[in-house]
A and B are shown apart, each in its own frame.
With several copies, the nearest count.
Chain A
Amino acid sequence: MAATETETRTLAYGAAFNEALRQMMREDESIFVAGEDVGAAGGVFGAFVGLQDEFGPMRSVDTPISEQAIVGLGIGAAVAGLRPVVDLMFMDFILVAMDQIANQAAKLKYMFGGKATLPLTITTSGGAGLSAAAQHSQSLEAMLCHVPGLKVVMPGTPYDAKGLMVACLRDDNPTVFVKNKRLLGKKGPVPEELYEVPIGVANVVRPGDAVTVVSYGRMVDESLKAADRLAGEGVECEVIDLRTVQPLDIDTVVASARRTNRIVVVHEAVRFGGLGAEIAAQVQEEAFDYLDAPVGRVAAPFTPVPFSPVLEAEYVPNAGRIATGIRQTLGLAEPPG
C-alpha cells in the first residue's frame, strides 16, 4: 500500500465507505442497502449519499424506525440469496436489535447444521467525542466480539474503510462494519479501483522496538500521536492497527510483543470487559516469558459517556493519556511540565 499512496487520490473516510458500496453495488445486483434515512436522505452522516439516485429505491431502502425488523430484513433476505447491507444509525442502537444480531444472525448457520448462508453486512457508527451523551457515543464492540458467528471490523483510515467494506460485502458471514463518527471527514489516500483489505489482518502502522501499542478505529491516530511524543523522548513505539477486532489477528500482536517485550492496548470502550482484556489475556498467555511488564490498558473509565465536553475530554483516551500509559508500562517518569 505504502507505494501506491503517493500516486493515489485522497478521499474522506465516509466517502471511501460510500465508494466501496457504490462500486460493489455496480458489480453485484444482489447487494442492497436498507435503514433509517439511508435512501432519499443518503444517511444522517452522508455515508449512503447518491446510492438511491443511482440504484433506485428498491436497492436503497428507507425503513421505519425498527432496528429489530431492519436487521431481520437483512437476515431473511440473506438467507433467501441476496447480499443485504443494513444500517443501524448509531452503534448504541445495536442494543435495540441485539436479539436479531446475536441470537438470530450469528447463530442461524450453526443451529441449522450449516445450511444457512448469511452474507449480511450490518453497518453502524460508533465512538465518542461529539457531546452526543450516553446513548449516542458508545463503543460496544466487546459485546459483538463475544458472539460466535459474527465478524467485526473497525477501520481507522479511509483506505481501510473502503477495503474492509469491500471485504465485508464479499464475505459470506454476518459482518459488522463500525465507522467511527469522528473519522468520517478524515482524508487519506484511497485508490479509485476496487480493492479488498482482508478481514482479520492487522496492520503495523509504525515500526518500533521499545513497546508495542495495539489499537483500532480512531484511537490509532491518537496512538500515533503518542508515539511521536515518545519518539521525542527517545522511545520508539511499534503501533499496530488491528482493523478487524473479530477475528483477532493475535499472531501479529504476539510477534511484536515478543520483540518489544512490552505492550499497551488502547481503545475507546470502557476498560472493564473491553477488547483490551481479551488481548491482554491472550498476550500474557502467548508471550509470558517475553514480557518485562504487565500488558497495559488505556481505555475509557467505567462510567457512561458524559454530555459535557469538559467531562467527555476526561473520558475519551487521547494522545496524552496514551503516552502516560505507555510510560507507565515502560517504567518511565512523566516528562517535566
Chain B
Amino acid sequence: MEVTDEVLVDLHRRMVRIRHFEEAAGRLAEESRLPGFLHLYVGEEAVAAGVCAALTDEDQISSTHRGHGHLVAKGGDFNRMMAELMAKETGYCKGRGGSMHICDLDLGMLGANGIVGGGVPIAVGAGFANKYKGNGAVSVVFFGDGASNIGAFHEAANMAAALHLPVVFVCENNEYGEYTPRDQTMAITDVVDRAVGYGMPGVIVDGMDAVAVFEAASEAVARARAGDGPSFVEAKTYRFYNHHGVQVLGMKYRSDEELAEWRTRDPIDLLEARLAAAGVLDADGAAAVHAEVAAAIEAAIAFAEQSPDPDPSELFNDVYTIAGGGA
C-alpha cells in the first residue's frame, strides 16, 4: 500500500493508542489494581501498528503473551480491554482470560497466548481456512525472537510454506527472551535467517520505524493475498520496560546504557518528527491526539472500575459449546 498522509496519521494514532493503554496498565499494576501477569509492549508499538495498518478487518492475527499492543493496533476497544485486565464481567473474555488471553475474534484477533509459540500453528490454521474459502484474507503471526526457538513455530512455519498458505510471519526481535539475551539462545543474529529453511522470502526491517514496518508488511500481505504464499518479516525492536511489569533501571540482565540508547529511537518520537517535518501533523496536532487518547483511556479505566465482577456461577460456563445454545 502507498504511504499517504492518511497512512502516516493512522500509524501515529495506532501507536499513541498502544502507548497510552500500556502506560496506564503499567500504572494500575504498580498500584496493584490489576491481577496476574502483565507484559507491556511499550517501545515496540511501531511493529503492531505498522503491520495492522496493512490489514483489513477480515484479516486475522495471532498474538503472544505480550498481546495488548496487537489488539489495540487491530482496533481493540479500550473499555473491554481495560475491563478484561481488571477481570471484570464486561471484559473481552468476561474476566476469564486476562492479559495473557485477551482477544477479539470479531476483529480477527485470535488471542494472546500464554504458551510461547502456541499461537503460531493457530494462525496458520486460520490461513488455511482463508485459502480453503478463497476469501482473500490473510493471517499474520506475531512472535518473538525467543519463540523462534520453539518447535511449534518451526512446524507451523514449514506447514504454511508446504501448503503455500496466505500467512505472514512477523518476528518481534527485541533481543531478549525474558532475562536471557538472544546470543545465549541462538547462534544467529538475524532470526530471518530461518526463512530460507522454509523456502519463504524474508526481510529485516527497523522495528522502531512504523513506516518501514508498514511498507514491509504491505508487501508481504500483498504477496499472500495474491496467492504467492507465506513470507517472513523480522522487525528489530526493543521493549522499554521489564519482561513483565514496568521496572526498568538497574536490571542485571541488560544495561541502563543499552536501554537509554534504544530510548533515543522511541518509535512515536521518530514518527512525530517525521510528521512535523512533512507538515502532516505539527506538535499541537500530535498533542491533540495524545490528549484525546488519554481521555479515552481515563474513560476506559472508569468503565472498567464501575463494571461488576463476573458472577461466581460464571466459573462453570463456556467449558463446552452446548448444542443449540450457540458459541
A touches B in complex, CB < 8 A: yes
**Total number of residue pairs linking A and B with CB closer than 8 Å:** 269
Q: B136-160 toward A: CB 8 Å interface, digit per residue (1/0)?
A: 0001000000110111100110110
Closest Cβ neighbor of B36 among chain A residues: A131
**Chain A min CB distance to B290 (Å):** 30
**Chain A min CB distance to B269 (Å):** 31
Measured in the bound complex, the distance between the Cα atoms of B37 and A172 in whole Å is: 31
Report yes or no: B125 in contact with A74, Cβ–Cβ below 8 A.
Answer: yes
Measured in the bound complex, the distance between the Cα atoms of B36 and A109 in whole Å is: 20
**Chain B min CB distance to A175 (Å):** 10
Query: Chain A residues with Cβ under 8 A from B323's Cβ?
Result: 171-172
Measured in the bound complex, the distance between the Cα atoms of B152 and A337 in whole Å is: 52
**Chain A min CB distance to B247 (Å):** 14
Measured in the bound complex, the distance between the Cα atoms of B111 and A53 in whole Å is: 36
Measured in the bound complex, the distance between the Cα atoms of B90 and A77 in whole Å is: 27
A311 on the interface (CB 8 Å rule)? yes
| Residues of B82-128 whose CB lies within 8 A of A | 87, 91-98, 100-101, 103, 105, 110-111, 113-118, 120-128
Report yes or no: A76 in contact with B122, Cβ–Cβ below 8 A.
Answer: yes
**Chain B min CB distance to A300 (Å):** 10
Measured in the bound complex, the distance between the Cα atoms of B114 and A131 in whole Å is: 13
Closest Cβ neighbor of B100 among chain A residues: A133
Measured in the bound complex, the distance between the Cα atoms of B185 and A39 in whole Å is: 12
Report yes or no: B309 in contact with A63, Cβ–Cβ below 8 A.
Answer: no
A114 on the interface (CB 8 Å rule)? yes
Report yes or no: B125 in contact with A99, Cβ–Cβ below 8 A.
Answer: no
Q: A285-328 toward B: CB 8 Å interface, digit per residue (1/0)?
A: 00000000000000001111011111100110000000000000
Query: Chain B residues with Cβ under 8 A from A118's Cβ?
Result: 321
Q: Which residue from B120, B124, B126, B318 sits with its C-beta under 8 Å from A109?
A: B318
Closest Cβ neighbor of A95 among chain B residues: B115
| Residues of A125-156 whose CB lies within 8 A of B | 130-136, 148-149, 151
Measured in the bound complex, the distance between the Cα atoms of B123 and A15 in whole Å is: 33
With A82-B129, A132-B36, A133-B114 known to touch, is A311 a contact of B95 (CB < 8 Å)?
A: yes
Q: A45-58 toward B: CB 8 Å interface, digit per residue (1/0)?
A: 00000000000001
Chain A interface residue number, banded: 35 or more
Report yes or no: A103 in contact with B115, Cβ–Cβ below 8 A.
Answer: yes
Task: Specify which of A73, A104, A315 lies most central, judged by the most chain B CB atoms within 10 Å of its CB.
Answer: A73
**Chain B min CB distance to A118 (Å):** 8
Report yes or no: B37 in contact with A136, Cβ–Cβ below 8 A.
Answer: yes
Measured in the bound complex, the distance between the Cα atoms of B315 and A128 in whole Å is: 15
Report yes or no: B110 in contact with A113, Cβ–Cβ below 8 A.
Answer: no
Q: Which residue from B103, B146, B326 sits with its C-beta under 8 Å from A64?
A: B146
Report yes or no: A135 in contact with B129, Cβ–Cβ below 8 A.
Answer: no
**Chain B min CB distance to A124 (Å):** 14
Closest Cβ neighbor of A104 among chain B residues: B118
Measured in the bound complex, the distance between the Cα atoms of B19 and A113 in whole Å is: 26
Measured in the bound complex, the distance between the Cα atoms of B179 and A136 in whole Å is: 19
A123 on the interface (CB 8 Å rule)? no
Report yes or no: B95 in contact with A111, Cβ–Cβ below 8 A.
Answer: no
Query: Chain B residues with Cβ under 8 A from A36's Cβ?
Result: 177-178, 180
A61 on the interface (CB 8 Å rule)? yes
Measured in the bound complex, the distance between the Cα atoms of B150 and A96 in whole Å is: 10
Measured in the bound complex, the distance between the Cα atoms of B309 and A37 in whole Å is: 35
A188 on the interface (CB 8 Å rule)? no
Q: Which residue from A61, A100, A173, A310 sits with its C-beta under 8 Å from B118?
A: A100
A208 on the interface (CB 8 Å rule)? no
With A113-B97, A115-B103 known to touch, is A64 a contact of B159 (CB < 8 Å)?
A: yes
A221 on the interface (CB 8 Å rule)? no
A210 on the interface (CB 8 Å rule)? no
A266 on the interface (CB 8 Å rule)? no
Query: Chain A residues with Cβ under 8 A from B110's Cβ?
Result: 76, 79
Report yes or no: B319 in contact with A309, Cβ–Cβ below 8 A.
Answer: no
**Chain A min CB distance to B29 (Å):** 12
Report yes or no: B179 in contact with A115, Cβ–Cβ below 8 A.
Answer: no
Q: Which residue from A116, A304, A306 sits with its C-beta under 8 Å from B105?
A: A116
Measured in the bound complex, the distance between the Cα atoms of B87 and A108 in whole Å is: 17
Report yes or no: B95 in contact with A308, Cβ–Cβ below 8 A.
Answer: yes
Report yes or no: B163 in contact with A61, Cβ–Cβ below 8 A.
Answer: yes
Report yes or no: B150 in contact with A65, Cβ–Cβ below 8 A.
Answer: yes
Measured in the bound complex, the distance between the Cα atoms of B185 and A115 in whole Å is: 33
Report yes or no: A40 in contact with B185, Cβ–Cβ below 8 A.
Answer: no
Task: Specify which of B105, B178, B319 lies most central, judged by the most chain A CB atoms within 10 Å of its CB.
Answer: B319
B245 on the interface (CB 8 Å rule)? no
Report yes or no: B35 in contact with A307, Cβ–Cβ below 8 A.
Answer: yes
**Interface CB pairs A-B, < 8 A, 26:** A37-B178, A39-B180, A58-B132, A63-B162, A64-B159, A65-B117, A66-B150, A73-B159, A75-B122, A75-B125, A81-B129, A108-B111, A110-B318, A111-B96, A112-B105, A113-B318, A114-B317, A131-B35, A131-B87, A133-B97, A133-B100, A135-B113, A306-B314, A307-B100, A314-B312, A315-B315
User: Measuring CB to CB, which residues of chain A are less than 8 angstroms from any residue of chain B?
Assistant: 32, 36-37, 39-41, 44, 58, 61-82, 84, 92-93, 96, 99-100, 103-104, 108-118, 130-136, 148-149, 151, 171-173, 301-304, 306-311, 314-315
List 20 extra interface pairs beyond A62-B185, A72-B155, A314-B315, CB under 8 A: A37-B179, A44-B178, A64-B159, A64-B162, A64-B185, A66-B156, A68-B155, A74-B125, A79-B105, A96-B151, A104-B113, A104-B115, A109-B318, A109-B321, A110-B318, A133-B98, A173-B321, A306-B315, A307-B36, A307-B98
The 10 tightest CB contacts between A and B, nearest first, are A76-B125, A72-B121, A135-B114, A117-B327, A307-B98, A80-B129, A113-B94, A69-B155, A66-B155, A114-B318
